[in-house]
Amino acid sequence: MTALVHRLGGEIESLLEGFRLSSREAEEILRDALHLMAYRWEALESRELFVLATLRRVSLRRILRRSVQRVH
């Protein structure tokens, strides 16, 4: 798993920076995605795709939640 994260490091960093997340938020999202990946490791067909798609999905949810909170 470490090798995978290292290999995808630039893409992961770019993806998280693109969502303008704080360092704390990015770390939380990455940690959560890695926990999910560890849990499903053997069943994953494309670990790279899983990591990137999960990071994107969780980041979008975080931004949407933040936007809703600002409105209310």
Residue 49 sits in which domain range? 2-71
Q: What is the distance, to the nearest Å, from the Cα of residue 70 to the centroid of all Cα atoms in its chain?
A: 23
Angle 68-31-56 from CA coordinates, rounded to 5°? 50
pLDDT classification of 18: cutoffs 50, 70, 90: very high
The structural domain count of the chain equals 1
As given in the structure block, the two tokens for residue 64 are 């949407």
DSSP codes of every residue in the chain: -HHHHHHTHHHHHHHHHHTT--HHHHHHHHHHHHHHHHHHGGG-S-HHHHHHHHHHHHHHHHHHHHHHHHH-
Q: Residue 38: what residue type?
A: A
pTM for the model = 0.81
Q: What pLDDT, on a 0 to 100 scale, did the predictor assign at position 52?
A: 94
